[in-house]
Amino acid sequence: MATEEKVGIVDGYYAKIGVAAIRLTDGALQVGDQIRIHGHTTDFTQMVDSIQLEHQPIQRAERGSEVALKVRERVRLHDQILVVRPS
């Protein structure tokens, strides 16, 4: 059984490029993390392939950062970003 830890929320979504703007409110996020994006009508899991901060690729984003993530499905404002940790 895996545990999920909230790290942030969706602040925006850019449909043409499939990118979510994420505000890291509760924790850090890094390339390679397994995340679940969950909201009223959103619920899927994916790996973090890349994170961008001000159009520059980074490996890790700390709590308090506003970053962009490539997502494989549509996300909505205020969806939660949860990091899935194997137990």
Please report which confidence band the pLDDT of residue 86 belongs to, taking 50, 70 and 90 as the band edges: confident
Average pLDDT over residues 59-69: 98
Query: In angstroms, rounded to a whole number, what is the distance separating the alpha carbons of residues 64 and 56?
Result: 17
Please state which CATH number belongs to domain 3-85.
2.40.30.10
Q: Where are the domains of the chain?
A: 3-85
Task: Give the integer Cα–Cα distance in Å for 80 and 67.
Answer: 14
Separation of alpha carbons 86 and 52, rounded Å: 25
Q: What is the mean pLDDT of the chain?
A: 97
**Mean pLDDT, residues 7-31 taken together:** 98
User: Token pair of 14, please?
Assistant: 């850019």
pTM: 0.93
pLDDT confidence of residue 10: 98
By mean pLDDT, which of 4-8, 58-62, 66-70, 83-87 is the weakest?
Answer: 83-87
The closest of 36, 20, 18 to 80, measured between CA atoms, is 36
